[in-house]
Structure 1
Amino acid sequence: MTSLAADQPAGAAPEGAATHPLSRLTAAEIDAARDLFDAHGLLGPTVRFALLALEEPAKDEVLAHRPGAELDRRVRAVLLDVTTGACRSAVASLGRKALDEVVEIDPAVDGQPPILLEEFIAVDEIVKADPAWRAALARRGITDFDLVRPCPLSAGNFDFPGERGRRMLRVLSFVAHRPEDHCWAHPIDGVVAYVDLIERRVVELIDHELLPVPEEEGNYDDPEYVGPIRTSLKPIEITQPEGASFTVTDDVVSWENWTFRVGFDPREGLVLHQLSIRDGDRDRPLIYRASVAEMVVPYADPSPVRFWQNYFDAGEYLLGQQVNSLVLGCDCLGEIHYFDAVLADGEGRPRVVPNAICMHEEDYGVLWKHTDLFTEAAETRRQRRLVISFFVTVGNYDYGFYWYLYLDGTIQLEVKATGVVFTSAYAQDSEYATQIAPGLGAPYHQHLFSARLDMMLDGTGNAVEELDVRRVPVGPDNPYGNAFTRKVTRLRSESEGARLADATAGRVWRILNPTSTNRLGQPVGYLLRPENAPALLADAGSSIARRAAFATRHLWVTRYDPAERYPAGDQVNQHPGAGGLPAFVAKDRAIDDADIVLWHTFGTTHFPRTEDWPVMPVEYCGFTLKPSGFFDRNPTLDVPASTGGHCANGSADGDPACH
């Protein structure tokens, strides 16, 4: 990369500027950013915004901020000339009207900017104009190209001759029987087009084998296909007659001792900032910043047509840009608070996505309960959680990201994967796909997410211990063989902080503050409980293992650096690999009693079922953060008993409370 900078005279902040360093970008700020980059000669008729986002200040600056203090609101843009392929990253100050940095991106070394919406649209025209592609489809009996749906997919990086530095997509195709027919049921297998987006042409066509195009339709929204709709389900109404228990002020949410700021990033989507919990008369910080910083979907089919299939949905496609508008009664139930998302399009103009983030409360069953043998006291309290969620659609798949905050201090992230599985023609007895309908296959794949957790338990000096259960052999101190205990391993440096989960050892990781103790003198802490699903299954020498190295470990612990935001690097699209976490941990900085960031890999390995077709019931994955010695005792003793109307269907004695 090469770096340039320019100093400009200070100016007034643009109209509509925010009042906090982490406030979400407004439409006025996006307009001001575009005007600023234009004024500095960085734009033109063929230059597009591949990304425009808030350039968040360093943590110490944010923590030092006081209400009413002057702000230096800065933005970062990734700019792409769609006719030459030239690209650069630029940082500018909206208030000072200054261009602080311009970095030229070398696509051959640094990777390509994210894929633009207009490039997806262009692919349809490019491949349909290619004579070899048309001939390949004609060999398969397809001549009505209006009903063919070319599917543009990220190209990856395999160091093929002629591809280094070339901006590309690889294109598989599907065909619909009519415009409203879902084309995923009819993959045109055996042929793939390699498209140069700058030259706007097919540079290579793989025409591997002739396979039948599956004929059966999969129109899950067609009553004729679905059959009669069941009528047995009675309505469930979620009501809160007195309203919700949370308050929202300038994107700051307060709910049952919890406080945090809602953010939204075009790459990561929903971000939770400065998450803290009130304990007595103290507001105690827990996490400075929490987000899903990357996800990768690697496929297992090694065939010449599909070996390259792997997608980074954040770095290549921008999760936040794919956000849905949520619908009351379908996506969220109850007393709902919505947040809109304001995002920049390819021209750098603001677009508003209504109801992009949903927030509501949910009853979550029993919080604690005991019926005492001696006193005959019987007490029950109910758990409740606050839900902050958003949904995205990336091609065929839909993902819901749900952050849960509980009354007892537990934090949970749950990802819901649904939508339509990616399909292929099914080869008999395939080792790498499931037959989900006659002649229709669904290749095996993984969905692997990287949660970036910038921890701040009672301050910025934190540490991590790995806790494993340990059997104790029979001996003088364990004569009957019943003993077991825990092995504790303190992670001292970044090289020690790259870890794998181990279900056989009951492995969890404890984040602690060595200088903050509970009333028993123990360091306060939180447990990170993984789900113990497989990490990346591709061979260690593969292209995807180099590019998605973050997914080869379930945990990474790094020293905080404001420039280290993304586990697979800044420009993921067509990056050659070893970016992000491998480069971060190569510094081998100390992580004991330090300002640290945890990167947790979680997800699912998907062997599709027939029940996943034609639309997939939700598959769940996630992780939990649970207090461990953080509080002096159960923090929910003050939760009131529920009223009788909510815990019994008419009690005989009319008892008004749930005791």
Structure 2
Amino acid sequence: MRTHPLQRLTADEIRAARALLDDNGLVTATTKFALLGLEEPDKLTVLGHRPGDPVDRRVRAVLLDLATGASRTVIASLTRNVVDSVEAIDPVTDGQPPILLEELVTVDEIVKADAGWREAMARRGITDLDLVRPCPLSAGNFGIPSQRGRRVLHVLSFLQHRPEDHPWAHPIDGVVAYVDLIEKKVIELVDDSVLPIPEEEANHDDPAYTGPPRTTLKPIEITQPEGPSFTVDDDVVTWENWTFRVGFDPREGLVLHQLGWRDGDRVRPVIYRASLAEMVVPYADPSPVRFWQSYFDAGEYLLGQQVNSLELGCDCLGEIHYFDAVLADGDGAPREVRNAICLHEEDYGVLWKHTDIFTESAETRRQRRLVISFFVTVGVYDYGFYWYLYLDGTIQLEVKATGVVFTSAYKPDSSYASEVAPGLGAPFHQHLYCARLDMMVDGLDNAVDELEVQPLPIGPANPNGNAFTRRTTRLRSEAEGARAADPLAGRTWRISSSDSTNRLGRPVAYELRPEGRPLLLSDPASATANRAAFATKSLWVTRYDPAERFPAGDLVNQHPGGAGLPKYVAADRAIEDQDIVLWHTFGAVHFPRPEDWPVMPVEYCGFTLRPVGFFDRNPTLDVPATPAAHCGHHGHQQGEDHGAHGGHGGHGEHHHG
């Protein structure tokens, strides 16, 4: 029996949901569950919940009829055993349900049965179709007449030399098939040009290609002889002064609920709900075969459904606690992913240090952080999402992008792709992520100020020209809350409590520090910019509304655009001293390098939330000194920072071994 509104769905609840929808005539032999997840109660209901209170467990399902293409969204109560609502989905105006895993499999049969596609392969000298790997990809919505109202995937193809050969090294470029998934046929074939298929193999898992493993790396052992410092009670994690609840959503993946800091006998809220709510990967190649490449990995493919099963002692190192994930498959049956979420702590170098010239005091304390992470594989790319909590109250999200770059045939002197191997191209693209941060800094009502550095000219008040100050601008409405980062201005955003002050009489606050890399590079008038409008701003601030969950809208697959944040902020609601949500877009522009081939070393990006006046003084003064036995080794002077983390990653970093 579920006793908290935010507890994750169990396998029994997924079975009960499927049975309830079946009993109400909503499931037929051709019905598929494109999505089934917990319908979270609104914030006030959750905050008002007390142990022993009744809990109404509701689910949201998106159902697709593979025979007709008809789809609908259903909300049902498992507690009351009733269907609360059924809403039909209009594929023209509302978009399509997310892509099903089984649909990706059926594409192979569909394209290989098409005469036009087979002829296109023959023109390229390909006769053994068993070694061709059609790659199904989300179609987007570019106003292509043949696709209006249809459930479509676009299919590029790759060649293997033999079954164990990685096909990404051999793109069959110049041709793309548009596939109707309901009619199960190719509705349009774009055969633009016959390009050479790169021959060189690139099998990163084959010693014949990589060479023998190096033998020079000595072991690094991570041990915690007294066990970890965190505790886990069901889904609630407590570590040092931090407390939060772990959630897992089939679309967003890992969710952190009710993240707070224990201060004496009370827990001070910081974030009510934090998640990676959407991401878009737009490509730069404008050719007739590839102009449509812009993938929404959360809304179209469901990040949570693509989660990896992590291996103890391999993907995470140290004293690990794993959370399994229970997800619904296309038939509405539970599917368990073992070790989907990794929880551990790791050393992070010096926390604070001072050697005083007058008192001769010499003190050093070491930083450590709690890591909550998961990895997904979406197509060729693998993404690790790492939430970090630090001893000093800092919060970070770091995304680690790795995997295989998407490939093309390389056209000499291309303006839109890099050559990563002989004749092999990798189109330029972006990885843009949007974090949804339902803030609750010391209470429900918060406000946001934009902070910037302000140099001052020489003048009567600044005769020597050394003065600079800080400019503060209060964001008062949703229109004002749509902002772009500006690294040269040192632009950050301070989220402060409207009711709580520190001992200096100033509002307690957290500060969002963006990395400030480029935003969406597609033209503002493009279909991609219309569908991924969230990625045109670094920050959006909206008034909390439980119905506003996703930055690109509820149904992203083949949506015509304009949904999500542009629609949310259209009312231009007040955001000063209100219950507000921050949406932060961040990411990277990827101009692939030869070093990114055949498998890409991790590329990092993210953001930081740092306390600013949230505490009355340094909250880590009580962190004990590290025992001397742990500070020196083989003659190194005590206190040296050997093995400390000077940058990204850490002792617990995921890796596949």
Residue in structure 1 matching 2:385, options 393, 401, 413: 401
What are the superposed Cα offsets for residues 507-548 of structure 1, whole Å, 9 maximum, x if unpaired?
Answer: 000000122100000100001000011000000000000000
SS at match of 2:145: coil
Give 1:19 deviation, angstroms: 1.3
State the AA in 1 paired with 2:59.
V
Return the alpha-carbon distance in structure 2 between the equivalents of residues 581 and 613 of structure 1. 36
2:52 and 2:248 mapped to 1: Cα distance? 22
Deviation at 1:181, TM superposition (A): 0.3
- Number of the residue aligned with 1:137: 121
Structure 1 residue 474 corresponds to structure 2 residue 478: no
Change in 2 beyond 3 A, CA 1:592/1:654: closer
Q: How far apart are 1:586 and its partner, in Å?
A: 0.1
Shift of 1:652: 9.8
Match of 1:157 in 2: 141
2:396 is the alignment partner of 1:412: yes
Give the structure 2 partner of residue 529 of structure 1.
513
| Structure 1 residue aligned with 2:171 | 187
Contact 2:443 2:499 in 1 (8 A): no
- The DSSP-based 3-state class of the residue aligned with 1:38 is helix
Contact 1:644–1:651 (CA<8 Å) still a contact in 2?
A: no
Is 1:100 the counterpart of 2:109 in the alignment?
no
Post-superposition CA distance 1:183-218 (Å, at most 9, x none): 000000000000011110000000000100000001
- The whole-number CA distance in structure 2 between the counterparts of 1:561 and 1:136 is 50
- Aligned position for 1:11: none
Deviations 1:65-89 (A, max 9, x none): 0111111000000000011000000
Residue 538 (structure 2) pairs with residue 589 (structure 1): no
In the aligned structure 2, how far is the partner of 1:89 from the partner of 1:128? 33
Describe the SS at the equivalent of 2:125.
coil
Residue 427 (structure 1) aligns with: 411
Q: 1:323 aligns with which of 295, 301, 307?
A: 307
Q: Is the 8 A contact 1:391 1:399 kept in 2?
A: yes
Correspondence list, 1:485-564, <5 A: 485-564=469-548
Aligned to 1:456: 440
Q: 1:328 deviation in Å?
A: 2.1
Aligned residue identity for 1:319: L
Q: Could you tell me how far apart the structure 2 residues matched to 1:246 and 1:319 are? A: 27
TM-score w.r.t. structure 1 length? Answer: 0.96
CA distance in 1, matches of 2:118, 2:366: 63
How far apart are 1:280 and its partner, in Å? 3.0
One-letter amino acid of the counterpart of residue 211, structure 2: G
Residue correspondence of structure 1 range 438-457 to structure 2 within 5 A: 438-457=422-441
Deviation at 1:649, TM superposition (A): 1.4
Residue 73 of structure 1 is aligned with which of 57, 71, 81? Answer: 57
How far 1:494 moved relative to its partner? Answer: 0.2
CA distance in 2, matches of 1:161, 1:525: 51
Selected match of 2:30 from 37, 46, 55: 46
Q: For 2:185 and 2:221, how far apart are their aligned partners in 1?
A: 54
Q: For the residues of structure 1 that align with 2:37 and 2:51, how far apart are their CA atoms?
A: 23
In the alignment, residue 217 of structure 2 is paired with which amino acid? L
Q: 1:385, 1:466 → 2: CA distance?
A: 28
Look up the equivalent residue of 2:534 and give its one-letter code.
F
Task: State the distance in 1 between where 2:424 and 2:553 align.
Answer: 36
Match of 1:224 in 2: 208
CA distance in 2, matches of 1:592, 1:507: 19
**CA contact under 8 A between 2:380 and 2:406: conserved in structure 1?**
yes
Q: Which whole-Å CA distance do the structure 2 matches of 1:654 and 1:302 have between them?
A: 58
**In the alignment, structure 1 residue 287 sits paired with structure 2 residue 267:** no
Instruction: Please name the residue that 1:465 is paired with.
Output: 449
Residue 318 (structure 1) shift? 0.2
Contact 2:631 2:638 (8 Å CA) reproduced: no
* 1:63 counterpart = 2:47: yes
CA RMSD of aligned residues (A): 1.2
Q: 2:198: which partner in 1?
A: 214
* Counterpart residue number, 1:305: 289
Q: How many residues align?
A: 640
Q: Supply the distance in 2 between the matched residues of 1:319 and 1:160 (Cα, whole angstroms).
A: 27
Is it true that 1:32 corresponds to 2:21 in the alignment? no
Q: 1:344 to 1:481 in 2, by over 3 A?
A: same
| Inter-CA distance 169–644: structure 2 relative to 1 (3 Å threshold) | same
Q: In the aligned structure 1, how far is the partner of 2:609 from the partner of 2:495?
A: 9
How far apart in 1 are the matches of 2:261 and 2:433? 26
Which residue is 1:116 aligned to? 100
Tell me which residue corresponds to 1:387. 371
Equivalent residue for 2:599, pick from 615, 632, 654: 615
Match of 1:586, SS state, is: helix
The 10-residue stretch of structure 1 (322-331 or 68-77) with the greater mean CA deviation from structure 2: 322-331
Aligned equivalents of 1:428 and 1:21: distance in 2?
58
Q: Distance in 2 between matches of 1:629 and 1:25?
A: 38
Per-residue CA deviations over 1:591-621 (Å, capped at 9, x if unaligned) read: 0000000000001100000000000000000
Which letter maps to 2:198? Answer: P
Q: Quick one: which amino acid aligns to residue 108 of structure 1? A: V
Residue 162 of structure 1 and its aligned partner are, at CA, apart by 2.8
How far apart, CA to CA, are the structure 1 residues paired with 2:514 and 2:315? Answer: 27
Paired amino acid for 2:127? T
1:8 alignment partner in structure 2: none
Shift of 1:226: 0.3
TM-score by length of 2: 0.97
Counterparts of 2:315 and 2:532 in 1: how far apart (Å)? Answer: 31
Q: What is the CA deviation profile of residues 136-187 of structure 1, one whole-angstrom value per residue up to 9, with x for unaligned ones? A: 0100000100010000000010112132211000000001000000000000
1:228 counterpart letter in structure 2:
P
Q: Give the AA of the match of 2:145.
A: P
Deviation track 1:538-566 (CA, whole Å, cap 9, x = no partner) reads 00000000000000000000000000000
Separation in 2, partners of 1:370, 1:652: 20
Instruction: Supply the distance in 2 between the matched residues of 1:654 and 1:587 (Cα, whole angstroms).
Output: 60
- Spell out the pairing of 1:228-243 with structure 2 (5 A cutoff): 228-243=212-227
Aligned pairs for 1:225-374 within 5 A? 225-374=209-358
Q: Write the letter of the residue equivalent to 2:462.
A: N
Give 3-state SS (helix, strand or coil) of 1:136's partner. helix
- 3-state DSSP of counterpart to 1:77: strand
Give ranges in structure 1 of 5+ residues lacking alignment: 1-16
- Give, in whole Å, the separation in 2 of the partners of 1:452 and 1:654: 43
| 1:579 aligns with one of 558, 563, 572 | 563
SS at match of 1:103: strand
Q: Post-superposition shift, 1:329? A: 2.5
Share of identical aligned residues, percent? Answer: 75
Return the letter of the residue paired with 1:222.
D
Distance 2:455 2:58 in 1: 54
CA contact (8 A) 2:146 2:188 kept: no
Q: Give the CA deviation at 1:281.
A: 3.1
Q: Distance in 1 between matches of 2:316 and 2:505?
A: 43
Give CA-to-partner distance per residue, 1:337-382, whole Å, 9 cap, x none.
0000000000000010000000000000000000001000000000
Given that residues 406 and 426 in structure 2 are in contact (C-alpha distance below 8 angstroms), is that contact kept between their aligned partners in structure 1?
Answer: yes
What's the CA shift for 1:653?
Answer: 11
- Counterpart-to-counterpart distance in 2, 1:528 and 1:347: 41
- Report the CA distance shift for 1:89/1:484 in structure 2 as closer, same or farther (over 3 A): same
User: For residues 359 and 570 of structure 2, what CA distance do their matches in structure 1 show?
Assistant: 60
How far does residue 118 in structure 1 lie from its aligned partner after superposition?
A: 1.2
- Per-residue deviation, 1:330: 2.3
User: Is residue 19 of structure 1 aligned with residue 3 of structure 2?
Assistant: yes
Structure 2 SS opposite 1:138: helix
Partner secondary structure for residue 22 of structure 2: helix
SS for the counterpart of 1:585 is: helix
